[in-house]
Structure 1
């Protein structure tokens, strides 16, 4: 009975944690991480403040946990769908389309979670800044690696600068997110998609690599 009771409390704690983080990700994508507080979350979700405090301990830990949770959602929404896509130019294209669908589909109500919180914390210092910066670097490195793999299999030109191409692709994606969120302009995703396809065709090792 003791073990069953403990397991039940752990599962209830985990369920509450998921509930809280689902809400904090929504808030942060619109209002930023500074919009979070233990008291606010407890009130909005009908939880005790002491219970929320027991799970997170501080506002900073709540912010860090929210960043980590958003990273897991990002990986599931943007990266996981590419599991069965072979390395190459089509995988690079599929990755950008997956990101654009994640932003366009409002996985988070404020568009890309990391675009929102990066603008909030880019000039600050501390653990939250560092967690966001790491997420940004990890994403950039992943796009660069995907480009390098496409070069290695001969679908992008041998002289392709992976860092430069990744920078340009990410810039197009982030501009689409900004234009859509700030101005309600959904056509920005189509323009970004057109620009990305054009850039990849220019970088391709030969004609027809991305046709069909």
Structure 2
């Protein structure tokens, strides 16, 4: 086997492992992502999985970062095409709600679930989750502030608005995943507009 073919196959195996790990994380949490589980699901040896990741935490981090890339592409990049301020803020919120409702994972958004699974567990996974949520709050806050400066929103307290907007996402995810409530999407869109002081 040529070195190039070997590298391509190794990359494909890595991608396959990460994709399956992300699916497991969405259904069972990141703690459900283990070397043994992945080896069994993918019909690989444990040493084969270990060769790519070395430890359970590395595997969890790879799944988490894969989920974050999905979020970045489907929410942040999609909304980034809109003008800064209110148009982009509304697009971010709309894309986020749509992402929670349509994400191509069997158990919903990994990041939303991980925020409760790891909120009290110190370590690198906790730190990545915390950093991701902090970045999302910062993104929303920048657009709220811009919308206020542009005069498209009333003089709102930015931190309070961001707090309320961020709270909508987990509520939608819970309603969808725990209760199968498809009306949650409509309620969430209305909640965004009410939080921003816009007509619902």
TM interval, shorter chain, is over 0.9
Match of 1:173 in 2: 169
Map Cα deviations across residues 136-187 of structure 1 (whole Å, 9 max, x no partner): 1111111111212222333223x32222111111112221111111111111
Match of 1:126 in 2: 123
The partner residue of 2:91 within 74, 91, 94 is 94
Match of 1:187 in 2: 183
Pair 14,152 (structure 1): closer, same or farther in 2 beyond 3 Å: farther
Contact persistence 2:26–2:110 (CA under 8 A): yes
The partner residue of 1:141 within 130, 138, 141 is 138
Question: Could you list the runs of 5+ residues in structure 2 that have no partner in the other structure?
Answer: none
Write out aligned runs for 1:34-53 (5 A). Answer: 34-53=31-50
d(CA) in 2 for partners of 1:181 and 1:63? 21
Shift of 1:30: 1.2
TM-score, structure 2 as length reference: 0.92
d(CA) in 2 for partners of 1:197 and 1:59? 42
Contact persistence 1:30–1:116 (CA under 8 A): no
d(CA) in 2 for partners of 1:132 and 1:79? 17
d(CA) in 1 for partners of 2:159 and 2:153? 13
Write out aligned runs for 1:64-79 (5 A). Answer: 64-79=61-76
The partner residue of 1:160 within 145, 156, 162 is 156
Moved more, 33-42 or 142-151: 142-151
d(CA) in 2 for partners of 1:131 and 1:96? 22
Question: Could you list the runs of 5+ residues in structure 1 that have no partner in the other structure?
Answer: 205-209
Moved more, 165-174 or 145-154: 145-154
Shift of 1:105: 0.7
Q: Following TM superposition, where does structure 1 have runs of at least 4 consecutive aligned residues deviating by more than 3 angstroms?
A: none
Contact persistence 1:30–1:109 (CA under 8 A): yes
TM-score, structure 1 as length reference: 0.88
Pair 39,153 (structure 1): closer, same or farther in 2 beyond 3 Å: same
Whichever of the two has the greater Rg, that structure is 1
d(CA) in 2 for partners of 1:173 and 1:39? 32
Contact persistence 2:80–2:88 (CA under 8 A): no
Match of 1:207 in 2: none
